[in-house]
Amino acid sequence: MMLVLPLQSAYADALTQAKRMHDRIAGIPASQSTLNEMAALIEQGNAKQAAYIAMASPSFYNVTLKNWITPWTNEEADVFAPLNDYTATVIGIVRDDIDFREILTGDIIYTASGISGIPAYSTNNNAHYESLENNGVDLSSALTRSTQSAVTGIPSDASAGVMTTRAAAKSFFKDGTNRAMLRFTLMNHLCTDLEPLKDTSLPPDRIRQDLSRSPGGDSRIFANSCTGCHNGMDPLAQAFAYYEYDYNVDADPEGENGRLLYNAEGQLDPETNSRVTAKHLINSNNFPFGYVIGDDRWDNYWREGINQTLGWSDALTGSGYGAKSMGEELANSEKFASCQVSKVFENVCLRRPQDANDRSAIANITSNFVASGYLIKEAFADTATYCAGE
Summarize pLDDT for 330-372 with one digit per residue, the tens.
999 999 999 999 999 999 999 999 999 999 999 999 999 999 9
Q: What is the pLDDT of residue 12?
A: 61
| Cα(170)–Cα(260) distance, integer angstroms | 8
What is the percent of the chain where pLDDT is above 70? 97
DSSP letters along 242-261, please?
TEEEE--TTT-TT-TT-EEE
pLDDT of 327 reads 98
High-pLDDT (> 90) share of the chain, %: 94
Residue 349's pLDDT is what?
96
Mean pLDDT of 36-45: 96
How far apart are alpha carbons 285 and 173 in whole angstroms? 22
Residue 114: pLDDT band with limits 50, 70, 90: confident
CB 168 within 8 A of CB 90: no
Position 5 scores a pLDDT of 31
On the question of pLDDT at 78 being above 90, the answer is yes
Indicate if the pLDDT at residue 24 is higher than 70: yes
Nearest CA-CA partner of 88 in 23, 158, 165, 155: 165
Q: Which residues pair with 144 in a beta bridge?
A: 111
The region of weakest confidence among 18-22, 218-222, 297-301, 333-337 is 218-222
> How many helices (H) and strands (E) are present in the chain, helices listed first?
17, 6
